[in-house]
């Protein structure tokens, strides 16, 4: 028996037709992506985009809603790229507006929080990536992850959770005045117990004296059993 292997269907989609599912992004991170992409020749950009599709959900009126890569889409738009290839991960166009957003919220496919970490109405979400606002703490969280402050995690919007953590501990004036010092402070904070609930937290947990004794007894017992 033979099987026909289907090639993936590519959907070239104008970037400005992509509907954001979050309100903010880190413009510092966008600028870094712009620099990197500007160094590529157009042929390499086209080849890369052909193999790295942007995931979208079809919503009411079959409009494509971004579920990831908001920073990439904004960076490409800002350097003059008009379209990207998209892949549809869910088709919800048959739902009405309220049901659509309920599903997105339930599936953690949207993050309607503003630059102060406050939840907003779905109607406040920008209509295009051009309308997305800068959240400097999102940039800080992204840079913190690249420095090893926390591990990449599959938790939806994990870097926004870290951004909110940092927002409560580093003043915006300090961040604007001295980014490097704020990043060093963020790295220190990321290793503390207060950050232990966050996705990707990778600081070593201190072992209590009681647990240390218990672990030594278990190790000793295991060693004795190995010699039997």
Model pLDDT for residues 7-21, shown as the tens digit of each residue: 445 668 999 999 999
- Say which residue, 95 or 214, is predicted with more confidence: 95
* H runs (alpha helix) in the chain: 27-38, 42-51, 70-78, 97-106, 136-146, 158-167, 172-177, 179-190, 209-226
pLDDT of 4 > 60? The answer is no
Average pLDDT of the residues in 85-93: 94
- Per residue in 111-154, pLDDT tens? 999 999 999 999 999 999 999 999 999 999 999 999 999 999 88
Nearest-angstrom CA–CA distance, 177 and 183:
12
pLDDT of 49 > 80? The answer is no
pTM, to two decimals: 0.81
Angle, CA of 131, 134 and 137, to the nearest 5°: 150
DSSP 8-state code for residue 125: S
Q: How many CB atoms lie within 10 A of CB 91?
A: 12
Q: What percent of the chain has pLDDT over 90?
A: 71
**Lowest pLDDT segment from 71-85, 109-123, 176-190, 213-227:** 213-227
In the prediction, which pLDDT does 2 show? 42
**Radius of gyration over alpha carbons of the chain, in Å?**
22
- Per residue in 50-71, pLDDT tens? 777 899 999 999 999 999 999 9
- Domains, the chain, with CATH or none: 1-134 (3.90.1530.10), 135-198 (1.10.8.10)
pLDDT of 22 > 80? The answer is yes
**CB within 8 Å of 96: residues ≥ 6 apart:** 60
pLDDT of 76 > 80? The answer is yes
Average pLDDT of the residues in 77-89: 92
pLDDT of 211 > 80? The answer is no
Nearest-angstrom CA–CA distance, 155 and 199:
7
Nearest-angstrom CA–CA distance, 43 and 171:
43
Q: How confident is the model at residue 219 (pLDDT cuts 50, 70, 90)?
A: low
Q: What percent of the chain has pLDDT over 70?
A: 85
pLDDT of 207 > 80? The answer is no
């Amino acid at each position: 028996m033979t099987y026909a292997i289907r090639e993936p269907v590519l959907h070239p989609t104008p970037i400005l037709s992509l509907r954001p599912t979050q309100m903010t992004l880190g413009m510092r991170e966008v600028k870094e992506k712009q620099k990197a992409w500007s160094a590529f020749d157009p042929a390499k950009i086209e080849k890369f985009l052909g193999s790295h599709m942007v995931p979208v959900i079809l919503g009411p009126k079959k409009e494509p809603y971004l579920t990831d890569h908001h920073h990439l889409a904004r960076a490409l738009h800002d350097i003059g790229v008009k379209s990207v290839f998209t892949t549809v991960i869910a088709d919800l166009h048959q739902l009405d507006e309220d049901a659509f957003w309920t599903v997105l919220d339930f599936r953690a496919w949207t993050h309607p929080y503003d630059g102060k970490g406050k939840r907003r109405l779905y109607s406040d979400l920008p209509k295009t990536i051009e309308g997305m606002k800068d959240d400097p703490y999102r940039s800080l969280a992204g840079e913190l992850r690249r420095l090893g402050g926390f591990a990449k995690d599959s938790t939806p919007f994990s870097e926004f959770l870290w951004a909110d953590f940092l927002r409560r501990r580093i003043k915006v004036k300090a961040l604007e005045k001295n980014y490097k010092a704020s990043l060093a402070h963020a790295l220190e904070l990321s290793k503390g117990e207060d950050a232990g609930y966050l996705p990707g937290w990778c600081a070593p947990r201190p072992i209590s004296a009681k647990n240390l004794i218990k672990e030594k007894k278990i190790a000793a017992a295991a060693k004795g059993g190995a010699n039997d």
